[in-house]
Structure 1
Amino acid sequence: MLPSSSIPLLPSLLVHNDYLLLTNSFVPLHFGTFWGLPSRIFYIFVGLAPLILFITGFVIWRYRYKGKNRSVQTTQTLSQHCCCVNQLN
């Protein structure tokens, strides 16, 4: 029989075991081994997603930025060419 002084220690041991179970479950998540090879392939795509989003966002931004400058230059160039064509006719 357990002494009465050890009874309060039992719940703390159970909490400690639950804590270890929880913290040990993070190791397979961290290294991507919980599903095997499919989880590692998934982690590659998740890891590369910020890079892909950055590159595509930059390309879209650059296209829009250059598009605004091009439209001003294009209208000026077209107006000059149209005047020259109208003068020839």
Structure 2
Amino acid sequence: MKIGILGTGNIGKTLTRRLSAAGHEVKAANSRGPETIEADVLASGGRAVTAAEAVVDVDAMIPSVTVLPEDRTSATASRLNSSEYRLLRLLLLPTWHYFL
């Protein structure tokens, strides 16, 4: 399966490592650019890409990003559930975690 992961914090790193090790084609992106993704995250075969590249030609997209309280939560959710993303026809598996 081709998987795009947005976010390389604790959850995103772990998912990239484990899904790559399981034989999936994983593209990982963060907000700072592909050159900032640590080598250990990619050691199992994941590929560092830009956020735009992470959602192209994938079967599943996993957003693993911090969502700030209330005001940003609904904006982020509506953006990810917009028709633009629905048209991609991919499996969306959010792992949002709240910054407290």
* Higher RCO structure, 1 or 2 (CA under 8 Å, sep 6+): 2
Structure 1 length normalisation: TM-score?
0.20
Larger proportion of strand: 2
Larger Rg: 1
Larger proportion of helix: 1
Structure 2 length normalisation: TM-score?
0.18
